Amino acid sequence: MLKDLTSEKLIRLQIEADNWEDAVRKAAEPLEDEGKIKASYIDAIIDSVKTAGPYIVITPHVALPHARPETGALESAIGIATLKSPVAFGNADNDPVKYLFCLSAKDNNSHLGALADLAELLENKEFFELLDKTNDPKEVIDYLNH
């Protein structure tokens, strides 16, 4: 479940980013800091977007940065980040991005339940209203737990 893969330490709210690459690096940083991913994983996310385009922008204003497990995923986890000012990723339908859910998957299957939870959450207007108004990661965790 989503709440099992995230924590207050993996949440960064109202961060400032100069561009999409900076946004991905800052959203993924807590996962690296907490030993969930290696730096190579962040590089792999950025390289894949440069190669394949902004496929990680999955719905309006939402990106799901992720890479292959073998590129440096150490544990399955999800980081949550909001941007103070949205940035363009180059996805005409869904730019600009304001919310990033950085996924680390240590294999191809163990995170699927969490992704299903996330998909449900992304349809919840209340969740985005909370992300827009709070600066407290604990409030986000409390929301996920209820």
Catalytic residues: 66
> Can the peptide bond before residue 96 be classed as cis, meaning omega within 30 degrees of 0?
yes
Phi, psi of 102 (to 5 degrees): -85, 115
- Angle subtended at Cα 115 by Cα 112 and Cα 120, rounded to the nearest 5 degrees: 135
Q: 3-class DSSP state for residue 129? A: helix
